[in-house]
Amino acid sequence: MLRRSLTVLSAALTLLAGCANTLALDPAENAEDPACALPTLWMPDTVGELEKRPTSAQATSAWGDPASVIARCGVAEPAPTTDPCVNVDGVDWVQVRAEEDTWQFVTYGRSPAVEVLVSPQEVSGATALAAVSSAVSRIEQTAQCVDARDAEQVEGEVPAA
């Protein structure tokens, strides 16, 4: 009986130790979208030199301890914008926020959208986006960023033939 109790206690402590490094996150509004499953499963084990760590929320991934890169699938899709947009390995990313301690990127033209938060002191935005773009590319692209000059339309102007 004592041996069985010690085995159960040991198993419980092992489970608790495994959860100790789990990052508590809130899921995105549409994290339950089935299209988030593959990108979440295909997220890389490392971003730069940062190791992936377990998270508590559906359709999320994180790297580093403390977390320096966080990805969440199922965030609101950005509307057309003049915010900076960059294409990384076939995935368009809008830079929504660029504060000193956190940069926020959101996919453009993919539903559901994926958000990536980056601590630029720990890893570059380019490194983070390059690492996750392959996984994110599993969400179908329905629109793409265009250059501001391409988006300009003069009302009433007829293109030359």
Give a yes or no: residue 157 inside a domain: no
Give a yes or no: residue 158 inside a domain: no
Structural domains of the chain, count: 1
Give a yes or no: residue 120 inside a domain: yes
Give a yes or no: residue 155 inside a domain: no
d(CA 128, CA 138): 17
The pLDDT assigned to 156 comes to 44
Q: Is the pLDDT of residue 7 over 60?
A: no
Domain interval for residue 50: 23-145
Residue with tokens 């940062």: 50
For residue 24, what are the contacts with CB-CB under 8 A and spacing of at least 6?
A: 55, 56, 57
d(CA 42, CA 57): 16
The pLDDT assigned to 20 comes to 56
Widest CA span of the chain, in angstroms? 90
Give a yes or no: residue 72 inside a domain: yes
- Counting every residue written for the chain, the total comes to 161
Say if pTM beats, i.e. exceeds, 0.75. Answer: yes
For residue 37, what are the contacts with CB-CB under 8 A and spacing of at least 6?
A: 59
Q: Residues 110-146: pLDDT tens digits?
A: 999 999 999 999 999 999 999 999 999 999 999 999 8
Give a yes or no: residue 1 inside a domain: no
Give a yes or no: residue 102 inside a domain: yes
The pLDDT assigned to 150 comes to 61
